[in-house]
Amino acid sequence: MLSRDLLRTDGERVRAALGARGADPAAVDDWLRLDGERRAGLVEVEELKHRRNEASKEIGALKRAGEDADAAERIAEVGRLKERIAELEAALAGVEP
């Protein structure tokens, strides 16, 4: 089994080794593409979770201040963030390199 670090840092060597064994070296490119998609998706999920958490804190502050109309807008935004997070996590479940 090859390590992810080896595939990421020395893909040429892995391609050469696969070619020498009669395997398709393009598999490395496919894996790197999927790995890149997965990593980008994870970054986006973490950013969205951070935004969701910050918005949730703001909602609490707005409610304590009696600004329910502004809080309702933020609640709607948090709902959209939660939906997007769920979509991305579902997509990431299918992108395991």
pLDDT at 96 > cutoff 70: no
Evaluate if pTM is beyond 0.75. Answer: yes
Amino acid identity, residue 92?
A: L
Q: Cα separation of 33 and 27, whole Å?
A: 10
Q: Within the chain, what is the greatest distance between any pair of CA atoms?
A: 70
Q: What is the pLDDT of residues 4-54, one digit of tens each?
A: 999 999 999 999 999 999 999 999 999 999 999 999 999 999 999 999 999
What value does the mean pLDDT take over residues 72-90? Answer: 94
Instruction: Spell out the domains of the chain, with CATH numbers in brackets.
Output: 4-93 (1.10.287.40)
pLDDT band, very low/low/confident/very high, at 1 (cuts 50, 70, 90): confident
